Amino acid sequence: MQLRQNNLRKLPRRCFDVLVVGGGINGASAAAALSGKGARVALIDKGDFAGSTSMHSSNLVWGGIKYMESGDFALVRKLCRSRNHLIRSYPSSVQEIRFLTTINRGFRHHPLVPWAGTWLYWLMGNAFTRRPHYLRPAALHVREPIIDIGSAVGGFEYSDAYLHDNDARFVFNFVRAALDFGTVAANYVEYLESRREEGVWITRARDAMTGDTFEIRSRVLINAAGPWVDQLNQRAGQRTDHHHVFSKGIHLIVPRLTDSRRVLAFFADDGRLFFVIPMGPRTCIGTTDTRVESPEVEATEADIRFVLDNINKRLALPKPLEASDIIATRCGVRPLAVKPSGGGERDFLNLSRKHAIDLDRQRAHLSIFGGKLTDCLNVGEEVVEAVRGLGIEVPYPRQRWYGEPDASVREAFLHQARLMELDAMTADHASEPLSQRLWRRYGSQAFEMLEAIRQDERQAEVLIEGTEYLRVELEQARRREMVTRLEDFLRRRSKVSLVVSEAAIRRSPGLQEACDILFGDQASERLEEYLQGASPEPREKRVEEGG
């Protein structure tokens, strides 16, 4: 909490080059890129970082093979290159994974047609991944016995990438990088309104934890509020070329269905791609694609039934999945960038997920629409160029602002871990060796964790039963990760609440100690808040818009 309090004190005291409103993937990458190249940046979010769309994805980093059918080849080419760049830049986090796609009778194309498409897809991606293969039904069954091949006429295997951890953690690491570069960031700070005076934006904001209001001054204002971009633009008096339409998607987390480390892909009853995705000890299945009018959504019984029905039709499971098998549900909206006439002229399921940046040069205002995890590095670079065009000095334009530490640093860490036999301390139920996980999640900061474990081996103990998270990781989160509510840690800094049922978390004897480490004197208050499942109301009336 100390990091957040320090930053809250700094926000009204300075005039920043740029204020970024919204800490999802677009805002996080923009802040990291700008501050990494030397700009003075502030970042606020009305809730926790990655607290909306960016924590409800399929955890896939892919080139958009679905856009091949709609002819968006330029977008596919761009996303494939972005995917490749992320794999190279984050080899521990973004990893190639095989997709096994089944084509059933009645599909709109013969299976050789999409298989040919995978070859074109592979070539458009510079043949960076393993080659695709055509598979007859029997070969599908050999590769993955749980696939029901009774209606299958063929299939194919190709490669894309996925996030080994979860999406919210990946996004937070951009926020953490921005903090390391000097960004003054704070979560649970709501955007209220802004005005422009004498070449400076004055933004009124509110601490959602206390109700206190204050002003932030910046030369440039970036609206990266995800699904709430349009709402914020109305408050700022901004007119833009683009606006958002919303697609609701849900995923269900269930016990692990197969030990194979591959994504199973099908075409659901509505024609869209439907996935079975590995998630450590669990499996993630989905998604839906339902047009909605508002960013505030929840998973309905119909949504859940759609996912369960589709998966039970396509897998030969010993027992069909039921609602009682669901460990957790992910539900959010995809904000899709369209122009005023663009929402109804094209099949909604085929609307592009590409991003768009609308720039008001006269008022020094940027709005970021749409976007995908795959394209985050491009968003960061494009925002830097746009801000430079507004006259903001960027002292280090060639500075690299993203990526893992180089291989020599990683080898030094793994060498130290081997010397202290760290992997021997890995929990029996863990999905990977402890040294790999600590490096992937914390990079060079993991050296401090090794030292803490050397001094006290209790720091390597799993604290919350059924998870892989250590006491030393809670200490790290307290110091460096701006955990403000318990849900921030359980759902976004980690994936505890995705792989462990809420009932099991509540029963865990380590939950109280976790709160003690994270929140100190406020531990009881934060634990009670979590157990009641409600956020405390600040002294003022809550304002329900983006930030």
Which distant-in-sequence residues (6+ apart) come within 8 Å of 268 by Cβ?
Answer: 274, 306, 310
Query: Hey, do 1-54+167-242+350-390 and 73-163+245-343 end up sharing a CATH topology, with the first three levels equal?
Result: no
Average pLDDT over residues 413-434: 93
pLDDT tens, 373-387?
999 999 999 999 999
User: For residues 278 and 257, what is the distance between their CA atoms, to the nearest angstrom?
Assistant: 9
Q: Is the separation of the CB atoms in 377 and 85 below 8 Å?
A: yes
Q: Is the separation of the CB atoms in 90 and 404 below 8 Å?
A: yes
User: Is the predicted pLDDT of residue 539 greater than 50, yes or no?
Assistant: no
Confidence of residue 535 (pLDDT cuts 50, 70, 90): very low
| Cβ neighbours around 153 below 10 Å, total | 16
Q: Tell me the domain boundaries of the chain.
A: 1-54+167-242+350-390, 73-163+245-343, 407-533
User: Is the predicted pLDDT of residue 37 greater than 80, yes or no?
Assistant: yes
CA distance to 259, 368, 428, per residue, from 434 (Å): 20, 38, 11
Of 247-261, 470-484, 528-542, where does mean pLDDT reach its minimum? 528-542
Structure tokens at 438: 């600590």
Of 18-22, 140-144, 222-226, 538-542, where does mean pLDDT reach its minimum? 538-542
User: For residues 411 and 409, what is the distance between their CA atoms, to the nearest angstrom?
Assistant: 5
User: For residues 50 and 48, what is the distance between their CA atoms, to the nearest angstrom?
Assistant: 6
From the list 273, 326, 272, 281, the residue with the least C-alpha distance to 100 is: 273
Range 219-241 burial, b when 16+ CB lie within 10 A, else e = bbbbbbbbbbbbbbbebbebebe
* CATH class of the structural domain 73-163+245-343: alpha beta
CA distance to 254, 255, 314, 321, 508, per residue, from 324 (Å): 9, 11, 19, 8, 21
User: Is the predicted pLDDT of residue 275 greater than 50, yes or no?
Assistant: yes
CATH of range 1-54+167-242+350-390; options 1.10.10.10, 3.50.50.60, 2.120.10.70, 3.10.450.240: 3.50.50.60
pLDDT the model gives residue 457: 93
pTM of the model: 0.94
